Amino acid sequence: MSKLAATFRLIRAGWIMTREGVISALPAEGLSGLPAFGHRVAGLLARRRARTARRSERMSRAINKLGPSYVKLGQFLATRPDVVGTEVADDLALLQDQLDFFPMEASVKAIEGSLGRTVGDLYVSLGEPIAAASIAQVHPAYIRTDGEDRKVAVKVVRPGVRQRFNNDLESFFMVAQWQERYVPATRRLRPIEVTRTLAQTTRIEMDLRLEAAALSEIGENTKDDPGFRVPTVDWERTGRDVLTLEWIDGIKMSDIDGLRAAGHNLVGLAETLIQSFLRHTLRDGFFHADMHPGNMFVDDRGHIVAVDFGITGRLGKKERRFLAEILYGFITRDYVRVAEVHFEAGYVPHHHDVASFAQAIRAIGEPIHGQPAETISMAKLLTLLFEVTELFDMETRPELVMLQKTMVVVEGVSRSLDPHFNMWKASEPVVGDWIRRNLGPQGILADAREGVGAMLHLARQAPELVARADRLFKEMDRMAEQGFRFDDETAKAIGKAEARHTRSGRVALWVIAICLIIITYALLF
């Protein structure tokens, strides 16, 4: 029944996207046969007003009709140009995550249910909502601390959004499974894994305690950084369905005229923004992955304040090192090293030739070196790099794609503040310092210390590992001499199963039983 319901939900979604002209607006190059015929039919079924609208407008209307789950899906796919293509991703990035407010009574119920206290006990006052998105809405409120009233922002999860998302998620998985089964060319993109990532990130976003934890972690990481900060969290008034944090009075970074009128240094803000993002990425390995202008303010001190940490990205130390080496290799025109890093990281399968891949990398790097520095886009470089690696069967790396998309957005904001923005000059103090610390003598010593620590940890575990290995070998010898043994219940269960299934089914059950025994022995011994 659940699959049938998911199928009907997909049919409804397809009909809405057809009527709003989304299907007919998608690229049709390369389509032939039945898909091309379907594309033409979709154009005929689209509403008249939809046929003249821009693709981004069509998508916005359709996705908002489909509800919060599809809004979140659209926002997520906007960060995955490798999956939907650069043009569609750019259109999805324009989606306005603005839904209708839900009733004040529902917010009060959610707050009191999550925190176990009355709203009157928690807040001096709780105002009407001022912004509503797919997952939650925001209320202004006042709390009393040290005898003074202080303004805060209260974010409350939308009622029923979890159940609605879980229902729609089943449909998303169904589409991903069909795609992997019937469109072999897209298996490299791992659509099922992409859907799992969507499910995980959205579930995290719907638990506001985790967003509070992200705010707290980035707040600690950036406490000494110049010109950048995040709001403080009020943990006493934060739970799964409610997040209370510092109220930010400032000018949105999308309001260029407002920033200029307030006397802020736009060139300095552009430099601070890109340097802050690179510090978070390279130094901390933890970055805000939704840094569009609406999520960033400039306060009266000229500091950039980032909000809405529902979507974040992480890079391990190894990934950060590979990223730095790739960027440094382009700067120094060492294309062979850039290619080698891709193979060392496992990004490109080893059956490909390093020299051929280096040749493809050179095709990206050489045109860049003939341009003025202020026209070279690091984000564009990464985009071209991912396009080339597609030719060499590089599988999708979600963490790198999210980084690339965020870098596109951040660099775009910086260029909107300063049209002559020099990406390389602005990023050199951060990237150069990181490379000197981590790829130079200091980094080698740090790696050596980590290696020694790992060896000592392994040495401490040696007696236990030897004992477990000895027990495992003894059990293997015993099984070789006496064969497998089952208890009575297991034998009866297998006998009943054999009576119910065909010969091939009986063979499968025996294989499963043997695998279970091997796994059990491995876990216990």
The residues carrying an active-site annotation are 290
Q: What is the 3-state secondary structure (H, E, C) of 165-218?
A: HHHHHHHHHHHHHHHHHHCHHHHHHCHHHHHHHHHHHHHHHCCHHHHHHHHHHH
Torsion over CA of 236, 242, 247 and 252, rounded to 10 degrees?
150
Q: What Cα–Cα distance (Å) separates residue 163 from each residue in 64, 74, 77, 158, 251? A: 18, 19, 21, 11, 36
b/e per residue 497-507 (b: at least 16 CB within 10 A):
beeeeeeeeee
Which residue is associated with the tokens 């390995």? 285
Q: Are 221 and 284 in contact (CB under 8 A)?
A: yes
The helix or strand, by DSSP H or E, that contains position 153, with its residue range, turns out to be: strand 148-157
Backbone angles phi, psi at 252, to 5 degrees: -65, 145
139 touches 237 (CB < 8 A): no
Q: Quick one: tokens of 500? A: 């119910």
Dihedral (C-alpha) 112, 114, 117, 123: value to the nearest 10 degrees?
A: -70
- Per-residue tokens: 189: 């993109």
Q: Which two tokens stand for residue 282?
A: 């390279």
**How many whole angstroms separate alpha carbon 187 and alpha carbon 378?**
28
Phi, psi at 144, each rounded to 5°: -110, 120
* CA dihedral of residues 107, 110, 115, 118 (deg, nearest 10): 60
> Following DSSP, what letter does each residue of 12-60 receive, concatenated?
HHHHHHHHTTHHHHS--TT--HHHHHHHHHHHHHS-HHHHHS-HHHHHH
- Burial class (CB within 10 angstroms; exposed 0-12, middle 13-18, buried 19+) of 241: buried
Long-range contacts of 51-54 (CB under 8 A, 24+ apart): 51/21, 51/24, 53/21
